[in-house]
Amino acid sequence: MKQKKTRLKLYMLPLALLITHLLPAQLVLPKKLHGYVDMHTHPVSQWGFGEQLFFGENDGNPATALGSCGCYHNFVAPPFDGSCGSQNLYRNSIVDKIDKDNHISPVHSKVAGFPDFDQWPKHNSLLHQQMYVDWIKRAKEGGLRVMVALTVSSHCLADATETSGPNDDQRSMNKQIEKMKAFFGRHKDFMEIAYSAEQLRKIVLAGKLAIVLGIEMDNIGNFYNPAAPFFTSMINLPTQPNVRLEIDRIYAMGVRYIFPIHMTNNAFGGTALYNGGLNVANKYNTGKAFVPEVAPASSGITFKLTSAFSAMRQDFFAGLFMGVTGPVLPEKIMPDVAGNYPNYADPGLANGHRNSIGLSPLGEFALAYMMQKGMIIDIDHMSERGVKKALEIATTKNYPLNSGHNSFRTLGAYNENARTDEQVKTIYKLGGMMGLGHGDHSTNFVKEFRYGFALTNGQPLALGTDVNGFYALPGKPTAKERIEYKPGFTKSTMGTKTWDFNTDGMAHYGLLPDYIESCKKAGMTADEHNAFNDAANRFVLMWEKCEEKAAAMNNVKAEEEKTFTISSENQLCPLLIKGDREFGGHGPDVTCTVTLKVSADKAGVDAIIKMTAKETAGGDTEAGGTWTRRVYTAPGGTKVLKINSDLESKAHFVSGGAGSEFGSCNEGLVYDSGKGQIKITGDIIKSIIMVGDTGGPDVTANKNDCHCDTGIKKIVFNPVSVTIAPL
């Protein structure tokens, strides 16, 4: 037996060496990632909901970032000196109602914050920052390795609370994305944004927290059809080109994780029904109330939509001041006006309600295009009909879908948003994954995790906390869930406050490791805990498959050259840098430089156009401007490796004097490269027309209008070649 075993080893060794030698380098298995994942967070909710409902910043001096919320949440207490701007009763009433609904009694005083934190943050204080940078870092130090950071808002709620805005979804989303990029960019010492699976691997293997930017909005692209038009920038009948442009735009902003549908019906389809109060927001956004259908007993859905609304203006205290504040929403959507909402028929004892609307044809197109971009798609909040269609499309394309903050219908979540066993099995078969809600207590989470662990045959599951998302975090643990602090695992502190999970629950995000420790106390086994920490690896494999399938959809199998032409520019207006706006016939000396560079995320090519105009004698007037354009976006699932064309091109001339305009507007001295008046170097610029001296005030004060002033009239570009490859 021993001799046989030795022969086998000797036989296998050269074969193994041969296989290793012949394997291409790219087939060597990457190092496995270790750590847990939160698939659902909202770090910058303070920039959603009209920017005056949710309070608290993510970094900076905690005395101000986490100070008094009075100016946001207060109406009846000082200051009355105008230092807070306009305060309104309606917002104060809603803030108090949210406190009461989440068992905060008495309601918070709206003056407490740093350094004592005696009233917030608490696990159930939904309107206060729970993701300060120190708290995110503590979560990372406790094993968090991937965090999905989502935008969120509600146009209806922002308008109802009379916030200053922006209230519409597109502008709110834009601002939140920029704020998140800036915030995470300030703290690269321990966390970085990942724009591809490859980057996520590198970030996690470097010992940092990988951030994935995403959006969870009711109306992507401001594709509204509301009860009453509330602004002009909405598109109430979007087309496929509108959808394609918007998805391209948000992808270029860095968004990689996306919810096609959120709390209300939208252009893409129907929302899951699980909260009757959302009917108001639905009618506000769409002009229509929910139209449910009977869900059969076999579906496991027992949620019932009713007409029983409780309006804020029926509150006695609110009623005292309603004559001052007035109705803040259109009367046709108010819940206390007879006839605004149907009297929904009871579906029967064993049945429930679900949305009768599934994915729209435009929603099917949007989903397919998101896949073509290689985006990470989350189907939570879709109606059951919508989920069914989404899974059918994904199965046809063998593309992963995800459910990032959910629970199991079998275990008691009896509405259509909760996952059925078959849905979960299909998600995992496709390579997707599930994030579980925290269940309020660790015992509940362990129960859900154990069920999912068995259902998926031991596959990793993530967490979906929904922190800062108007959803309470886990409360005070039960006796068997209590944890022990010790050297190396100490309590969270800030200012004069020390938080103890045993008495405070998960008051902020920094107590996430304490909650995970509580899960162990609640009976999470070693195998379950290992699977929980395998979630980072599951996430990156899921993302890699998304990118791989997108590359295949775009017919990119290996490195290849692509040629594109940059759209021409028609008017670019430099602004005053210094001087008196007048060149006085002394030039100006004008240079326009166009530089091409691969974007930081390798998702495209940016063009940086820079113009300077300088007085040559007699004064120091100088004008300048810089404009950046995304001129090429790589097909989904691919990246730009390099630019094969010139990286820089310059156009230069020195203007003559134009004389005096005597108050009239003329074009000044126009110079055209086609007439040999402008010298061009490099191959990016094909032709350019610019204006030099104009005879009057030469430098415009309007960045959008320089037809009488020094500037660029038109640039035409040559084709550009790049090399792309699958991600």
Please report, rounded to a whole number, the percentage of residues in the chain having pLDDT higher than 90.
72
Question: What pLDDT is stored for residue 87 in this prediction?
Answer: 58
* Residues 213 and 256: beta-carbon distance below 8 Å: yes
pLDDT for the residue 8: 41
pLDDT at position 309: 53
Q: What is the mean pLDDT of residues 283-311?
A: 86
CA dist., res. 471 & res. 596, Å (int): 45
Residue 643: phi and psi, rounded to 5, are -100, 125
Q: Which of 700, 685, 414, 378 is nearest to 546 (CA)?
A: 378
pLDDT at 93: 74
Q: Given this model, what pLDDT does residue 11 score? A: 40
Backbone angles phi, psi at 543, to 5 degrees: -65, -40
Which pLDDT belongs to residue 25?
47
Give the pLDDT score at 91. 75
Distance separating alpha carbons of residues 495 and 115, to the nearest angstrom: 4
Separation between Cα atoms, residue 70 and residue 81, nearest integer Å: 13
Distance between CA atoms of residues 694 and 545, nearest Å: 58
Distances (CA, A) of 618 to 566, 579, 582, 711: 39, 11, 10, 21
What is the average pLDDT across 161-182?
Answer: 93
* 190-194, 340-344, 427-431, 464-468: range with lowest mean pLDDT: 340-344
| pLDDT higher than threshold 50 for residue 663 | no
Are 174 and 153 within 8 A, CB to CB?
Answer: no
* pLDDT (0 to 100) of residue 323: 38
What residues contact residue 660 under an 8 Å CB cut-off, 6+ apart? 695, 696
Q: Are 383 and 389 in contact (CB under 8 A)?
A: no
- If pLDDT is split at 50, 70 and 90, which confidence band does 77 have? low
Q: Is the peptide bond before 226 cis (omega within 30 degrees of 0)?
A: no
Give the CA-trace dihedral at 325, 327, 328, 333, to 10 degrees: 170
The CA distances from residue 278 to 187, 271, 292, 387, in Å, are 37, 10, 13, 19
Rg (CA), the chain: 29
Residue 706 region by backbone torsions, left for phi larger than 0, else alpha for psi between -120 and 50, else beta? alpha
Cβ atoms of 594 and 609 closer than 8 Å: yes
Across 83-97, 112-126, 487-501, least confident range: 83-97
Q: What is the pLDDT of residue 232?
A: 66
In the structure encoding, which two tokens stand for residue 289, read together? 């109330």
Render pLDDT for 20-57 as a digit per residue (tens, 0 to 9): 444 454 556 689 999 999 999 999 999 999 998 899 99
Q: What crossing angle do the helices spanning 512-521 and 133-141 adopt, rounded to 10°?
A: 40
CB 405 within 8 A of CB 437: yes
Res. 582: pLDDT tops 70: yes
Q: What tens digit of pLDDT does each residue of 518-557 get? A: 999 999 999 999 999 999 999 999 999 999 999 999 999 9
Distance CA 591, CA 625 (A): 11
Average pLDDT over residues 397-425: 97
- Which range is least confidently modeled, 217-221, 366-370, 436-440, 595-599? 436-440
Mean pLDDT of 110-122: 85
Average pLDDT over residues 170-180: 97
- Torsion angle of C-alpha atoms 697, 701, 707, 708, degrees rounded to 10: -10
Mean pLDDT of 452-477: 96
Mean pLDDT of 407-414: 94
Per the CB < 8 A criterion, the answer to whether 261 and 389 are in contact is: no
- Is residue 71's pLDDT more than 80? no
CATH domain 37-66+127-283+355-543 topology: TIM Barrel (3.20.20)
For the chain, the structural domain boundaries read 37-66+127-283+355-543, 560-726
